[in-house]
Amino acid sequence: MKIINKEIDIKTSSRMEIIDISSKISEILVASGLKQGIINVFTRHSTSAVVINENEPRLINDFENFLKEIISENKTYGHNTIDNNADSHLRSFLLGTGQSVPFENYKMDLGTWQSIFFVELDGPRNRKVKITIIG
């Protein structure tokens, strides 16, 4: 068994942004030389998330609007007395900070329409996403 750790640098440009990072992850996976195993994608930021879903522009827009509806940015939250970003933390709680995906023949075993996304919830910022490959 071999374990490989890499990072992806992401520069976001807006408060909420959903970025498809599947191709970057695939490049790292192919370069690893590992044929099969599991890959973990993890953000170490408590105001961001990693999710898997379909990369369809209207769906991405619907998802952003849904997050804004269920957790309002303009509500009074206790955490806002510290740094005014409680909504970002709460959205991250719901979405989660990591995903694990099996891979075979140097390719992630995602469904036909699935992509892996980094979700910025408190940008713009410079972020890092950790990739751990076990194979």
For 4-56, what is each residue's pLDDT tens digit? 999 999 999 999 999 999 999 999 999 999 999 999 999 999 999 999 999 99
**Average pLDDT of the chain to the nearest whole number:** 97
Question: What pLDDT sits at residue 21?
Answer: 98
The pLDDT of residue 33 is 97
Give the residue numbers spanning the domain of 50: 3-134
Q: Output the domain CATH number for residue 115.
A: 2.60.120.460
In 1-135, DSSP assigns E strands to: 3-11, 17-20, 37-43, 48-54, 98-104, 107-108, 114-120, 126-134
How many domains does one find in the chain? 1
Looking at the chain, list the stretches that DSSP marks H as alpha helix, in order from N- to C-terminal side.
22-32, 57-70, 80-83, 86-95
Closest CA to 119 of 110, 111, 129: 129
